[in-house]
Structure 1
């Protein structure tokens, strides 16, 4: 159900993460649909709240709407089903950062068979232009900014670990951060309380089931999301970091991660 991509580029092999593969596939699919005048009416792409914003930028560039879901492809499947009934929007792609992609809606889950075919097609197309998929990714960075998408986790086992993870979540919920590193927090979303804070004003958060997730949006376009794992004794921290280049993005991530780790020590 999942697929990963390794690219031979300039004599070396480089692994694309799930976010990067998704962005490249979106660029190929949407640019081709536009070029052939085959983009359907009211197109919409689905991804999750912990998926990189780079794919969203690609979609908007081609006039495709974007809707977010909680983590789990079942939520993407539910949106596909709803729009198949209402006909308000037309599904064109769905994916999540954990290497799951869906091209055609006759399947309502991530489908590595479909994705593998599209990856091979995209690779052949760009090869005809003397480009690799990594070249395409770098072109997207030039157009939309460089995105470093990664995650860290804190493993805390046993009953005490479960209690500590709950305390960590409660700390970030009860003591909201005004900044992460040197970047001001301009908005936050709490999917447990179903609330969004923006410019100091609280408003309802619509369109999501209740989930123990907190997402912090930073003034430079980066964000940090925090949630307990649903399958492992871990607290997970997702980072979408925007920079002028990869070196700048990496330095930002280091600063953000250190700041969050220092905050955890207060719990």
Structure 2
């Protein structure tokens, strides 16, 4: 596939998607949104993990405010361009790591936060910047942020639009991990390989269960767990995991 605004490659079952407009801090325009969606919805079966990161000093500064088409009708842009992109991340057939290498602002922050796991460099920060220009947080921010850190902190982030450093974001539970900058690339690579070698079907079932738990009552969640576990128990990966445990060796998961 040929792309203009992202770099995309696959190596060893790991797909790496790099937002590649460093001259504007990887701001999202219509073409970039379409290319992210296309890359994630056409993954070949051998992909077992996806890493999304940014080129240059930023992860993503959010909506490109010079993108004239988006400014004409924000509601239509969100519905027709952002929603497919966010669903492509959330419904990806492999676990997704957002590797936040620098500032993640506005829709760029929320693109990262909808991933399965967020790992950030300590120099990175997260900004719900929308109120600075008289807008409401979008791109899933009002869904993801309160669920991660609670309403009080979410309101503070959104009303004051101040940067939250990566280390504080990790302490709050907004992200999984903040790593020293010098350890960031190796740390992301290690985690990506761990997921790529793991039981993909189980990972996707975990995603489904955790997402549902935020709305289910206990009985509903227990029923969902039983259904998902029944399905996982029929998988080749479960059989391999048990066999490897009994043989005292590392399992060789196939993702099926």
Structure with bigger strand share is: 1
Fold equivalence (TM over 0.5): no
Q: TM-score, normalized by length of structure 2? A: 0.24
Q: TM-score, normalized by length of structure 1? A: 0.23
Structure with bigger helix share is: 2
